[in-house]
Amino acid sequence: MKKIVVLLFLIVCCVNLIYSENGYDLWLRYKKVDNPFLYSSYREKNHHVIFPCSSDKLLAAKNELRNGFLGLLDLQLTETEVIENNTLVVGTPKTIPAFQHQPFIQDINKLNDDGFVIRSLNFQGKQVTGIIAKTDIGILYGVFRYLRLMQMHSSIERLAITEEPSLKYRVLNHWDNLNGTIERGYAGSSLWDWERLPTYKDKRYTDYARANASIGINGSILNNVNASAKSLRADWLVKAAGLADVFRPYGIKVYLTAKFSAPKEIGGLDTADPLDPKVKQWWKDKVKEIYALIPDFGGFLVKANSEGQPGPQDYGRTHADGANMLADALEPFGGIVFWRAFVYQNERHVDRVVTGYNEFKPLDGTFRRNVFVQPKNGPIDFQPREPFHPLFGAMPNTPLAMEFQITQENLGHAGHLVYLGTLYEETLQSDTYENGTGSTVSRILQNYNKTYGMSAIAGVSNIGSDLNWTGHLFGQANWYAFGRLAWNPDLSSKDIAKEWVRLTFSNKEEIIDPILNMMLMSREAAVNYMMPLGINHIMNFDTHNGPEPWHDDPVWTAFDYHKVTKDSIGVDRTINGSNAVSQYRSPVKEEFNDIQKCPSIYLLWFHRVPWNYKMPSGQTLWNELVAHYYKGVDEVEQMQNIWNRLKGKIDNERFEHVSSLLKLQKGEAAWWRDACVLFFQQYSGLPIPEGYSHPEHSLEYYKQIPFPYNWDQTNFFEK
């Protein structure tokens, strides 16, 4: 009997091991299709494959197809040269010459280099499915798209899919340091094992490349924007070349952040003046050296004259002078420059919101054709909510690249479930009115393809060495959403979230619907419990996690961002204040300027508002502010309840991972709420409205909480 019990225990353990998941596979899980009808249909359609390979990209695509067939259909890739009905035919007109004489070739020729078609067609008298592109990388993207259909249990009958990316450069920006740490990284250390590169190439690099290619990302900026000049030395360039070799089959180019003072720091020059002939020549020689090691090197990202970083203004030169010097060095090789527009000085008398526009708007039209000016999505710094950056729609003679943040620097790090697809969509669909109604940020980005032959979007990575890549399992959704919106900026964040849930968890509606509900409410919940009604930049000064609206020192103060007094709160950015509203076109300018018309989500961003101001809801500003803070915590509790009802429907490992982090999030949401309500209450002098529980501790208690914590989290979270 004892032996039987032990045997049963071992069987149970084995079953748990089989069905447990740790998140490593991301959205490329390729779990066996559990719909019997679809399983049979898929196997019939994919029984024979014609897929000639002549390049590393095609081989990568074939390997992916092989892995997908094995996992989804328990089917070995069966290659044939004889076309029969239901054959899957994969290739370009070069690898399958017969394609050149088919009617669909006209559609293929109209696509950009990354595009593809997936069609049910009559080919040489047989009914087949074709994955067709004019380039090898298009085939890889097409294969991932085809596998996604099966992963999501979609029909593969009568297919007529034509896709191409709307933006040319779709890049991840890693803020990884050369010592293995990551600035604003919350998922472990850097993926890049610099010490053992280029000789040892971790399998993770390939899996990283696969994941990015599956959502269309085609560039990786390897190092921190606060760069070390050492990354441009020959002994470090060979390490970057090792990564480039791994990424190349997946269509991913390597970029580097260039420190502007590198000619002085590692080049032996006494200046980095961009107009100095010696400096220009140094950069030309350095670029030539890079391309000898990395023939498909993408180019440079530069942070200059911001937050203490060196730049052309150190020599009385403009941002255009600096960017153009690098662009001239890269141009013969086809490289590009991303020149960040995130610039400000710590000057207390200057509204930080206006500085990026004021510095770059006058330079419109002075940048080389291979330079992107790259603003963040909003004019301050990756806050939970910002209005779109006014440079979008204001520089018609310069291509701009959008910079989003995927890592949750100001949104709870890897401890909070905050789906950022809604934030990205909110920005991309904002109307700039550059050319009348419909000139959304998305349209502007895409139109650069016509006017400049290039377009771009960048996302600050949330990827690290944690087994599940992003620290919080739901952080994967933000990586996925960025990639999908980089491919098509007009996609719905809701549709993207639903895709991710299907790929990551299940195709069962009883699982999809509740998780989708959680994701779609999560970002607004975070805004509510952190910085509602347009409040911003009141997080902890050092860590950017937890509240610190009271931070005040001679160099940096949160009071510049909320301007709280006993009679009012908010920053006057109207025409009578800092006039930030005038950086937007009409009618956006007039809408933001008029307190009656200004959306409540931006109210305190643009206006100083008395505590007794009557809001559209009928409540006073004070009561509305308190209501938002309490609502945010309630919404996290709702997310907890939704998730708890999924117990037993999701593998235990991932269920417990998310469950424990939701508990953490609820505790920190309450911390935000109680600290902020008490802080602002000491100025408003008004009571917390009836129906809301009062904070259990004093403001001084919350002011003493450090991060990371050294207080009793468990007791706090249980309250």
CA 667, 668, 671, 676 dihedral sign is: negative
Pairing outcome for strands 253-257 and 299-302: parallel
- CA-angle at 546, arms to 544 and 552, nearest 5°: 70
Instruction: Give 187-227 as a 3 state SS string.
Output: CCCCCCCCCCCCCCCCHHHHHHHHHHHHCCCCEEECCCCCC
Element spanning 611, H or E = none
Strands (E), 273-406: 299-302, 336-340, 371-374, 401-405
Identify the residue whose tokens are 């998730």.
643
CB 315 within 8 A of CB 272: yes
Query: CA–CA separation, 376 vs 383, rounded Å?
Result: 10
Output the CA torsion 148→149→153→157 (10° steps): -160
Closest CA to 621 of 607, 638, 636, 642: 607
Residue 289's identity, in one-letter code, is E
DSSP state of 592: H
Q: Which residues pair with 162 in a beta bridge?
A: 117
Closest CA to 226 of 170, 192, 181: 181
Give residues with Cβ within 8 angstroms of 133, minimum separation 6.
92, 108, 111, 115, 116, 117, 139, 141, 142
CB 398 within 8 A of CB 444: no
Q: Which residues are catalytic?
A: 307, 381, 409
Instruction: Give 617-657 as a 3 state SS string.
Output: CCCEHHHHHHHHHHHHHHHHHHHHHHHHCCECCECHHHHHH
DSSP state of 474: T
Burial (CB < 10 A; 0-12, 13-18, 19+), residue 599, is middle
Query: CA–CA separation, 615 vs 624, rounded Å?
Result: 8
Query: CA–CA separation, 265 vs 230, rounded Å?
Result: 8
Residue 480's identity, in one-letter code, is Y
